[in-house]
Amino acid sequence: MLPAPGFHHLHLNSVDPAAAVDFYAKLFPTSAKAHWGGLPAITSPNNVLMLFSKVASAPPTSPPTAIWHFGWHVTDTRKTLDAFKRRPDVKLLPLYTTDEGGEVWISSDTWPSTGRTPGLTKAQIAEAKAAGVQPTRTGGFGYLEGPDNALVEYAGNHPAERFNHVHFYHDDPFCAQVWYQEHLNAPVVAGAPRPPP
């Protein structure tokens, strides 16, 4: 069996790779412009690369593409949000709170989730309202639109800024997890929920 792999790069298609590199290098100040394999890139502090290939039109951003979004850790979500709000080139994307309306820019500005879920069900929202649960207003995650309509998640509060994850669409996430374990010896994240076989 091969040793567990590291994550080397995320490869994105872009109509203007140079502009995409500039955008992400400014968005995440601990990243740096780079080149790898003849492609323009940025590198994050944990040595993960984002590579860019030139294409004629923006790639799809929902199925049939496999990638939903990619995530970046930040040290302070609220300070990061405030900085993004001051930038005209950053398009923030709201998180919706209820069917009746309402939105927030970061998840910690609404009712906190329970367990490892990213949000609450309708019944859990009703329980939180009835119990007077208040937002933590610390940490959490938010989304923005990157070049070529890429969806970018920023999350904190973490000890250091860095590339964090790629979030995929899968018809069967459990089987995808098993495939990555079997073929790449990828470890399961400690504490991640595992459905029964």
CATH code, 171: 3.10.180
Residue 6's pLDDT is 87
Residue 193's pLDDT is 60
Q: Which residue has the tokens 């070049």?
A: 147
- Answer for the pair 72, 78: CB distance below 8 angstroms, yes or no: no
In a domain, 13, yes or no: no
Residue 146's pLDDT is 96
Residue 137's pLDDT is 93
Residue 65's pLDDT is 83
Residue 66's pLDDT is 85
The total domain count for the chain is 1
In a domain, 94, yes or no: yes
Per-run averaged pLDDT (10 residues), the chain, 197 residues? 84 97 95 97 96 94 86 97 96 89 92 82 89 93 96 96 93 89 83 61
- Which residues lie below 8 Å from residue 11, measured CB to CB, with a gap of 6+? 39, 50, 51, 52, 53
Which range of residues forms the domain containing residue 178? 61-184
Closest to 61 in 3D by CA, of 144, 147, 151: 151
Q: Which DSSP state fits 81?
A: H
In a domain, 18, yes or no: no
In a domain, 165, yes or no: yes
Residue 186's pLDDT is 86
In a domain, 113, yes or no: yes
In a domain, 2, yes or no: no
Residue 5's pLDDT is 82
Residue 1's pLDDT is 67
In a domain, 26, yes or no: no
In a domain, 154, yes or no: yes
What is the sign, positive or negative, of the torsion defined by CA atoms of 61, 65, 67, 68? positive
Residue 157, φ and ψ in degrees, nearest 5: -95, 125
